[in-house]
Amino acid sequence: MRRFALGLILAAGCTKATPPAAPAAPVTASPASGLRSLASLQAIEDDEARAIAIFAEVGKILTHPRCMNCHPSTDRPLQGEAGLPHQPHVVRGADGHGVPGLVCASCHGETNFENVPGNPHWHLAPASMAWAGKSLGAICAQVKDPARNGGLDHDALVKHMAEDPLVAYGWDPPAHLEPAPGDQETAGALVAAWLEAGAHCPPP
């Protein structure tokens, strides 16, 4: 009888309903996550090797979907983690802000709204800054050349990465999107250190 009662107790325990799983938390990133520390990179003695190693970290930011989607190889922006063509079908327009009747600000407000990214300056990067589909070495050569990077000299390039409010969106997207690795301050510091080391690039 005792064995029978114990069996009922055990059976009841095995069939006890488990509480539902908690909803998934939004994707977030802690500062400098996914990037080597600048201190460890600065310890590389050879200037060229140090510059190339630093740009490899910069490349993790530049080729992340949060950046790449606004630096497409065509006049159509990309979206999401997979970099799919933007829906609805929109294009760059004369100044990167879209075409009359369907400018970027038609949907993208001053801040994120639900799943729609937002920023007061929302627009595509200049066509001269198209990176999608290029190797890290090719992107590097393009980034350091003002004729192919939107006219940014080296000082302006550091300021763009470290302070530009639209670049800052890369680390503050809607909750369903993954932020770029690191943070904007780290990005600016990495670019400055890369230039200081000679702005050498990875092989094409």
Distance CA 87, CA 74 (A): 15
pLDDT of residue 133: 87
Q: For 111-133, what is the mean pLDDT?
A: 91
Question: Percent of the chain having pLDDT more than 70?
Answer: 84
pLDDT value at position 197? 98
Q: Summarize the confidence of residues 160-169 as an average pLDDT.
A: 95
Residues 166-199 have pLDDT tens digits of 999 999 999 999 999 999 999 999 999 999 999 9
**Average pLDDT for the chain:** 85
CA distance 82 to 137: 22
124-154 pLDDT per residue, tens: 999 888 988 899 999 999 999 999 998 999 9
Banded model confidence at residue 33, pLDDT cuts 50, 70, 90: low
Residue 192: CB atoms within 10 Å = 19
pLDDT at residue 144, rounded to an integer: 94
In contact, 50 and 190? CB cutoff 8 Å: no
| The predicted structure's pLDDT at residue 204 | 81
Break the chain into its structural domains and give their ranges.
30-196
pTM: 0.81
Is residue 26 pLDDT above 70, yes or no? no
Confidence check: pLDDT of 9 > 80 = no
Contact 78, 85 (CB under 8 A): yes
Q: Tell me whether residue 51 is exposed, middle or buried, using C-beta atoms within 10 angstroms of its C-beta: 0 to 12, 13 to 18, 19 or more.
A: buried
DSSP 87-148: SS-----SSSSEETTEEGGGT--SS-BTTB---TT--PPPGGG--TT--HHHHHHHHT-TTT
